[in-house]
Amino acid sequence: MAMRCLLSRLNCKEYKNWIKAGYCLSLLKSSLQTFIESEMKSFHQRLCREIPQGLPRTRCQCKARGKQFNPACPVCVEWKKIILKHHTNKNGEIHWGNCKPSLWPTNYWEVAKVYMPRGHADTAGPQLCDAAALLNLINACDRFREFNQSKVREVIKCRNELMHSSDMNVSSNWLKDFGQRLQNLIFEFRHVPGIHDEGKRIQEVLKSDWLVEDFGYEVDGLVMESTQTHEEIPMLIMYETEQQLIQQLLKEIYLQIEEQVEEQESLSEKDFDSVQKVKAFLSEHVDLQSNLQATLEKLDILQRTHVSLEGEGCP
């Protein structure tokens, strides 16, 4: 029963499109990680040189929270100024809470995280980032201003559509358009080592059928028979990508609700629907639930906090 359920799920065209798009983003991410690491290390060195010398030496105990950061020591005052100077959207939302300010002078990644969206406080380096984090960093930090940012923003927009599709379905036309935007981005970053090859793999993925028959892995107790899809994409890759994507989708929903709790805003009908849809989907697919249980429980606790806050009369 679980096996039939799994096969029918992975052979639904629009659902498979959704997974394919996620897989393409993960291929893009792998080719950007080393590049981002080296660029941000150089950027950090440059910023260190821009910090005025001879600042009074006091022990930094500054803490950032959410979108707020009021530096309490002279070193952080200068770092905040300089980080903002290189931000391409100084008046937009800046998630200072992603980083530990006391580490700015010594840790390049704590600086890089200021240019990322909410929810990256625990991301220890580019190798642990998803494509969205890296693309937003490229878009927000003027280190990358030589690149055509509209190409970057187009892919960010597609990625957000993908993650806000609580039905977990995208049409073939959407996928085709997404593929074109990815190729435009890859062309823009064509000097990055390895990106050309990943671009080819992305094209292959997008034009393949990924027709699933049986598979020969044991996945959470499900023993399967053959090992490949017709297009030679190992079944395990599809299954892993599927889990990662749903995990990301739940994380996005979580961050959105967490922000509303902090800002004491009401949960919109759309947010509530998204949670219900994903939960309903997971309740129909038991094989996915075991790996996502911890995330679902976290989301449940947060939702209950939100409901109780609303009950206490928050606006």
Residues that bind Zn ion (CB under 5 A): 60, 62, 73, 76
Provide, rounded to whole angstroms, the least separation between the CB of residue 16 and Zn ion: 49
Whose tokens are 């984090």? That residue is: 133
**Residue 166 φ then ψ, to 5°:** -70, -10
Element (H, E) at 218: strand 218-219
Toward Zn ion, which CB reaches closer, 78 or 287? 78
Q: What whole-number distance in Å separates Cα of residue 184 and Cα of residue 151?
A: 6
Provide, rounded to whole angstroms, the least separation between the CB of residue 57 and Zn ion: 11
Toward Zn ion, which CB reaches closer, 47 or 73? 73
What lies within 8 Å, CB to CB, of 5 at 6+ separation is 284, 285, 286, 287
Provide, rounded to whole angstroms, the least separation between the CB of residue 231 and Zn ion: 53
- CA geometry: angle 275, 276, 277, nearest 5 deg: 95
Provide, rounded to whole angstroms, the least separation between the CB of residue 136 and Zn ion: 25
Provide, rounded to whole angstroms, the least separation between the CB of residue 77 and Zn ion: 8
Q: Which two tokens stand for residue 194?
A: 């390895």
Strand, coil or helix: what is 223?
Answer: strand
Provide, rounded to whole angstroms, the least separation between the CB of residue 84 and Zn ion: 15
Q: What whole-number distance in Å separates Cα of residue 238 and Cα of residue 212?
A: 10
Helical residues (DSSP H) of 51-127, grouped into ranges? 74-85, 108-112
